[in-house]
Amino acid sequence: MISRPNERKPLVSHIYTADPSAHVFGGKLYIYPSHDEDLDLPDDDDGGQYMMKDYHILSMDSLDSECVDNGVALSVEDVPWAEKQMWAPDAVFVNGKYYLVFPAKDKEGIFRIGVAESDSPTGPFKSQDNFIEGSYSIDPAVFHDDDGRIYCYYGGLWGGQLEMWQSGSFNKDEKRPEGDDKALGPMFAEFSKDMKSFVSKPVNLVILDEKGEPLKASDEDRRYFEGPWMHKFKGKYYLSYSTGTTHYICYAVSDDPAGPFTYKGRIMEPVLGWTTHHSVLEINGEWYLFYHDSELSKGNNHKRCVKYTRLEMDDDGNITTVKPYD
Ligand code: FUB
């Protein structure tokens, strides 16, 4: 059901945007998306077509107002450790500063996660000199818990290189989990208070099925692929993510931010385009899903546009699956 004029429509159309991480800072809505380049590149399983060079932060006074592009907030040229592919970012406000947390490939072609800071939610952001020690892979989602602790959920298979770290160091020829192998989950680490490092060694999270068994690699309708997000509802932790190859956004619940999580269901059916990536945000007591599809480019996988829609969640936290084109 669509009830707002901007709902399920591209929020901006002068640039391609994807992977929206939405937050309310100081009563205003900010969206931290990837900025897809208008390039004609062939699709490959390594994500070589996603050649993003910078970030633009979007802002809206309300869900019904115009969505403003605040210009370049951080460019790959200004990140000393990075070479290319500025993929899905997130942001957090802490210590009176705004921190942009983002992945990019370093000069050796390995995805790492970096942090940049600003006095403004829209930047410009100044990058730290190096990536977070011990970080790897993509799609960081930062969760600021009620007790002040700040967690990072991250990681993505295939082009996101997550499976290449199973031995503890980078091996590009590492075999992917398959069949009855336990599926990889997202990575989880806690940030230091100054946002410069992880205080704990990152761990791979487990998602269990209804019988309490870890999801298997072959369970592609439910297992984790990329794009984690965390929201909290009535004291429980809701991990949501993309299933990649089957194009669903699913969720799993735990009493602990570090899991284990139990699979609960689907948040959204597939959108136009291969990737699906989202954030979940409460605004004035209502829940919203920010997501992307490829409507603007009529289906091009790497020319996407961010949108939002209302999310229905009952008192027990059960989420009604969004059918994006109904
Ligand atoms: O935008 C590049 C990649 O596509 C993201 O990191 C993934 O989550 C997928 O949306």
The residue annotated as part of the active site, out of 117, 139, 226, 295, is 226
- Residue 306 in contact with ligand 1 by CB distance below 6 A: no
Give me the pLDDT at residue 122, please: 98
> Tell me: the pLDDT tens digits for 8-49?
999 999 999 999 999 999 999 999 999 999 999 888 888 999
* pLDDT beyond 80 at 214: yes
How many whole angstroms from its chain centre is CA 275?
A: 12
Rg (CA), the chain: 18
- Residue 187 in contact with ligand 1 by CB distance below 6 A: no
Give me the pLDDT at residue 118, please: 98
Give me the pLDDT at residue 278, please: 98
Residues 46 and 28: beta-carbon distance below 8 Å: no
> Tell me: the pLDDT tens digits for 144-173?
999 999 999 999 999 999 999 999 999 999
Residue of 71, 31, 4 lying closest to 292 (CA atoms)? 31
Whole-angstrom distance between the N-terminal and C-terminal Cα of the chain? 8
CATH no. for 16-311: 2.115.10.20
Under DSSP, the state recorded for 76 is: G
Q: Which residue has the tokens 């546009």?
A: 305
Q: Output phi, psi for 258, to 5 deg.
A: -100, 10
Where does the chain have alpha helices with state H? none
> Tell me: the pLDDT tens digits for 64-123?
999 999 999 999 999 999 999 999 999 999 999 999 999 999 999 999 999 999 999 999
pLDDT-derived band at 1, boundaries 50, 70, 90: confident
Q: Is 226 in the active site?
A: yes
Domain residue ranges of the chain, discontinuous segments joined by +: 16-311
Q: Tokens in use for 130? A: 């190096």
* pLDDT averaged over every residue in the chain: 97
